[in-house]
Structure 1
Amino acid sequence: MTAPHSSTRRVLVLGGGLAGTLAAAALAPHCDETIIVERHRLPTSPQPRRGLPQARHAHMLWSGGAEAVESLLPGTTSRWLSQGAHRVPLPTGMVSLSPGGWFRRWPESHFLITASRDLIDWGVRAGLDDHPRIRFIQGEPTRLLGDHARITGATIRRPDGTKETMHADLVVDAMGRTSCATRWLGDLGVPSIPESIIDAGVTYASRRYKAPAGTPTSWPVIHIQADPRTPAPGKIASIVPIEGGEWLVSLSGTRGGEPTSDSEGYEAYAAQARSPLVAEILARAEPLGPVTVTRTTANRRHHYEKLGRRMPNGFVAIGDSATALNPVYGHGMSAAAQGARALAEVASRQGDITSRGFTRHAQRAIARPATAAWMLATGQDIYYPDSRGKKPNLVDRVTSAYVHRLIHTATGDLTTTNALTNVMTLQTDVGALAHPAVLLAALRGPRLPALTGPDLTLAEQRVLNAPGRRAVTQA
């Protein structure tokens, strides 16, 4: 099947979330028309939208992702900050208990953006307002058009139930974890897409809190990590400051150690993490609503990039449609943003999005930042008890031992801290951890003695010392 000939270049983006809107921004300069298809009505302000249950959980946009967004839609960071988002300096603005001990809060080298997901998505959509080549339509994709060699469009079911055939020179799958594209491609004769799954069985439970009176506006991200080397389910607790003087608190546990949806037991679960710090802080804050739980957290990757020349022209997948990550590591948005920037770079380099092999090269470029995020997530999740999917081999075990040595060293060494932060923020790939200076630092070990507790400022300590609503006991 081929589309009717037209000199007009059209891009069809299936999905109006963060990945889809950024892909549209990336491709708009290289086509005449970009249509974003979203099945739910999108709000015109930072409000919740249907079809995004993960919006009720904590989100972080690392500097590597924020810079990618800014390169595609200049002014987005200012738009976020003007609405109350936080620019958190790293490692200065993070209090973190790693598997190797408490991290120090060295001077700023990187940053992250924290805000509600509603604000982050709105800030990106607002950057597309009045764009002459981009428009949104409401509808639900039901199948792809074309054949095994070229995808030529999609069938869209409109809100009134009618179906519309929409032809395009390029179709972008940004439908996320619920995408049916692999099945639709199979129906057209495209070879099976290789898939990887690593599932630690993580359950997420999140709740909003009002920050206590007197809390500094520069309140840090608090993150109590699990240690996957211990033979017990991992339990993680995080506090992320967002707009409006609120905190988004997310607790998570791997299979066998899941957090509760019960409001009464929520803070008690937080006390079961490797440090009771989050529970102690929450005892001084005001809960603002019920606990929201999600269990869709498996790391799942569709390796489109491995199809090579069998990859059909006219189709690319981006964001969670290609690589969905355990949200506890906070890399999903950043990897999607960097994938969109890579898509823009390939389009600029090749000059024609309809050229033979464009989608093959684009998919490989999208996969590169996703690979770094995948390795960071699965390198931890693969070791939790009862984790399902691939089991660690010798290379995995050697790599894990080296990374743990780096984490331990970073608790008292600035060189190693900067290297790890470079990788964690997706500013560089994991190969940077093999730099001779980093190898030497790992061999030498931490230069400073281990901290015996969290590295808190006097203002933060005052919040912790204030009378709480209840006593906290660690299980």
Structure 2
Amino acid sequence: MRLGRTAVVLGGSAAGLCAAGALAAHFDEVIVLERDELPVEAEHRRGVPQSKHPHFLLNSGRRAIGALFPGFEEALINAGGLHLMPSMDAAYLDGEGWSARKKASMTMIYSSRVLIERVLRDQVHELGNVVVREGVSAGGLSFRGGEVAGVDDLEADFVVDAMGRGSPVSGWLAAAGWPEPEVRTLDAKVTYTSRWYELPASPPESWWWRHLVIMPTPDKGSHPPEHEFLVNFFPIEGNRAIACMGSWGLEMPRTTEAFIGSARRVRTPLFAEAMDKSTPTSEVHLTRSTGNKWRRYDLLKAPARRLAFVGDSICAFNPFYAQGISSAASSALLLRGHLQAASSVSGDFSARFLAAQRKSLNVPWSLAMARDQGYSFAEGTEKLPEWRRKLVAAVSGPAFSFIVGAAREYAVVDEHFARVFNMDESLRDFMTNPRVIAGLLRYRVRTALGRQRVPFNFDPLAEPPARDYSTAAAR
């Protein structure tokens, strides 16, 4: 059903493009206002500095974008994206050593952020009633009563804010008489730094893996700070990889020399060796703007009508958890569902959408809090009392490793843990599922008896084991 003549989307990155896909069937014209001049190819631009770092496209995000733009996944793979099974294609260092390889339920598409956005732009260009206006900075909203009526001098029947963490829309609304929304925050002082590499044309025979993951050490003793880093050698299109190191609360290398030096001090020599065998193609890129931030427009008694929010403009996450694009796409798909069921975007439409969106955002928000609340240096409204913080800090890391171990042994734990990771299931639902609880208890007993079927903790100083242990897990 057509719900109006013109809809305007503020911002043309992944969130804004997904929003445009949601709006296209319900308005005569959809106008996307983007401050940057958008590149034709998959290239970095000023408005998306985080594009220089790895981006996981979670399964929930893949499905949401695919529903908005049928054929997106095939187009991304045809453009160079890699469809891989992490449990078979990634060398994963967790706990005291390498994990075993085995088939699992989760697959992922690996690519750069810039390729995801380029393919999304291609999909949007195929929508005949969507126009992207580049080099345009929105200066404010116009209003009619309690409704948004346009952007600057542009009249609109509906507006979507997709301007990211720094969105000025809450300030525009406050200037027009709305109360400032409550803002929930937690900044765990995450910093991450990346450098791009071209992989060797003929990789060493020992490189059975495509993705290298090094989790922070569980060791509480003395060790180099680099052992606390979360490290990825992340494959992308064009036979390239992004070498990335990140941490909670630690100083990260900013120069090429410091980056290489830190790489040689992480928990396994494999990371630095992979960099040595590859050819660097970029500078070192560092990002600090990583705090969790949720603008609670849903708590306003009378939110502005004919207005919606997607992506970081309403809820931004610690990027370590790879939730940003997928959460934005899920919000856009949710918006499309509400538009399909609506006879008007006036009245309480925006309030009803915000209420439904709250339930959707609670899933990734709870996952981010589950770890970030354990850090003593974390700051924000969601900072816990010290006794609770210590409890979270003591439990979250070991619990994660324990669940990963149980997932190696039991398909039901693996299946539901993959759903949690991909934002298809809440952590609460996972932890109260009787079949999952049974699998975790069985794993605890088998671990106590030393009877695990799939070995783990292979020497981190050696090459990760190439053997496929899927048969052992099946037994």
* TM-score normalised by length of structure 1: 0.85
Q: Does 1:451 align with 2:457?
A: yes
Q: Does 1:239 align with 2:209?
A: no
> For residue 24 of structure 1, what is the amino acid of its counterpart?
A
Instruction: Identify if the C-alpha distance between structure 1 residues 7 and 243 changes in structure 2 by more than 3 Å, giving closer, same or farther.
Output: closer
Task: Give the match for residue 269 of structure 1.
Answer: 262
Contact 1:369 1:429 in 2 (8 A): no
Q: Does 1:365 align with 2:361?
A: no
Give the secondary-structure state (helix, strand or coil) at the position aligned to 2:242: strand
> For residue 332 of structure 2, what is the amino acid of its counterpart?
A
Distance, in Å, in 1 between the alignment partners of 2:104 and 2:157 is: 44
2:427 to 430, 434, 442: 430
Once the two structures are superposed, residues 238-273 of structure 1 have per-residue CA deviations (whole angstroms, 9 ceiling, x without a partner) of 111011111011111222x22211111213213444
Give the secondary-structure state (helix, strand or coil) at the position aligned to 2:42: coil
Map 1:211-360 to 2 at 5 A.
Answer: 211-215=199-203, 219-226=209-216, 234-255=228-249, 257-307=250-300, 309-352=301-344, 354-360=345-351
Once the two structures are superposed, residues 328-368 of structure 1 have per-residue CA deviations (whole angstroms, 9 ceiling, x without a partner) of 2211111111111111111112243x242111122233333
Distance, in Å, in 1 between the alignment partners of 2:325 and 2:180 is: 27
Contact 2:196 2:243 in 1 (8 A): yes
Instruction: Identify if the C-alpha distance between structure 1 residues 424 and 409 changes in structure 2 by more than 3 Å, giving closer, same or farther.
Output: closer
Give the secondary-structure state (helix, strand or coil) at the position aligned to 1:128: helix
Once the two structures are superposed, residues 72-110 of structure 1 have per-residue CA deviations (whole angstroms, 9 ceiling, x without a partner) of 001111111111111122433333334586444331412
Give the secondary-structure state (helix, strand or coil) at the position aligned to 2:440: helix
Distance, in Å, in 2 between the alignment partners of 1:199 and 1:382 is: 9
Task: Give the match for residue 187 of structure 2.
Answer: 199
Contact 1:153 1:168 in 2 (8 A): yes
> For residue 117 of structure 2, what is the amino acid of its counterpart?
D
> For residue 309 of structure 2, what is the amino acid of its counterpart?
A
Please state how far the C-alpha of 1:19 moved relative to its aligned partner: 0.2
Contact 1:102 1:450 in 2 (8 A): yes
Distance, in Å, in 2 between the alignment partners of 1:7 and 1:119 is: 32
Q: Does 1:177 align with 2:165?
A: yes
Please state how far the C-alpha of 1:64 moved relative to its aligned partner: 1.3
Task: Give the match for residue 210 of structure 1.
Answer: 198
Once the two structures are superposed, residues 163-212 of structure 1 have per-residue CA deviations (whole angstroms, 9 ceiling, x without a partner) of xx112111100000121111111111112211111112122211011213
Give the secondary-structure state (helix, strand or coil) at the position aligned to 1:208: strand
Contact 1:103 1:410 in 2 (8 A): no
Task: Give the match for residue 466 of structure 1.
Answer: none
How many residues align? The count is 443
Contact 2:7 2:31 in 1 (8 A): yes
Once the two structures are superposed, residues 100-132 of structure 1 have per-residue CA deviations (whole angstroms, 9 ceiling, x without a partner) of 864443314122221111110010110011422
2:19 to 2, 17, 23: 23
Once the two structures are superposed, residues 252-296 of structure 1 have per-residue CA deviations (whole angstroms, 9 ceiling, x without a partner) of 1222x2221111121321344444432232232222221111111
Distance, in Å, in 2 between the alignment partners of 1:241 and 1:227 is: 23
Q: Bigger shift: 389-398 or 9-18?
A: 389-398
Contact 1:343 1:365 in 2 (8 A): no
Contact 2:87 2:104 in 1 (8 A): yes
Please state how far the C-alpha of 1:423 moved relative to its aligned partner: 0.7
Contact 2:185 2:292 in 1 (8 A): yes
Distance, in Å, in 2 between the alignment partners of 1:319 and 1:15 is: 10
Distance, in Å, in 2 between the alignment partners of 1:366 and 1:105 is: 37
Task: Give the match for residue 137 of structure 1.
Answer: 133
Q: Extract unaligned runs of 5+ from structure 1.
A: 1-5, 156-164, 461-475
Task: Give the match for residue 471 of structure 2.
Answer: none
Give the secondary-structure state (helix, strand or coil) at the position aligned to 2:150: strand
* TM-score normalised by length of structure 2: 0.85
Instruction: Identify if the C-alpha distance between structure 1 residues 82 and 7 changes in structure 2 by more than 3 Å, giving closer, same or farther.
Output: closer
Contact 1:148 1:188 in 2 (8 A): no
Contact 2:373 2:392 in 1 (8 A): no
Give the secondary-structure state (helix, strand or coil) at the position aligned to 2:238: helix
> For residue 284 of structure 1, what is the amino acid of its counterpart?
K
Please state how far the C-alpha of 1:399 moved relative to its aligned partner: 7.0
Instruction: Identify if the C-alpha distance between structure 1 residues 38 and 298 changes in structure 2 by more than 3 Å, giving closer, same or farther.
Output: same
Q: Does 1:92 align with 2:88?
A: yes
Map 1:59-70 to 2 at 5 A.
Answer: 59-70=55-66
Task: Give the match for residue 43 of structure 1.
Answer: 39
Distance, in Å, in 1 between the alignment partners of 2:392 and 2:434 is: 16
Give the secondary-structure state (helix, strand or coil) at the position aligned to 1:97: strand
Contact 1:171 1:314 in 2 (8 A): yes
Please state how far the C-alpha of 1:453 moved relative to its aligned partner: 3.9
Contact 2:192 2:252 in 1 (8 A): yes
Contact 2:229 2:246 in 1 (8 A): yes
Once the two structures are superposed, residues 211-247 of structure 1 have per-residue CA deviations (whole angstroms, 9 ceiling, x without a partner) of 1343389843222222689598942111110111110
Give the secondary-structure state (helix, strand or coil) at the position aligned to 2:85: strand
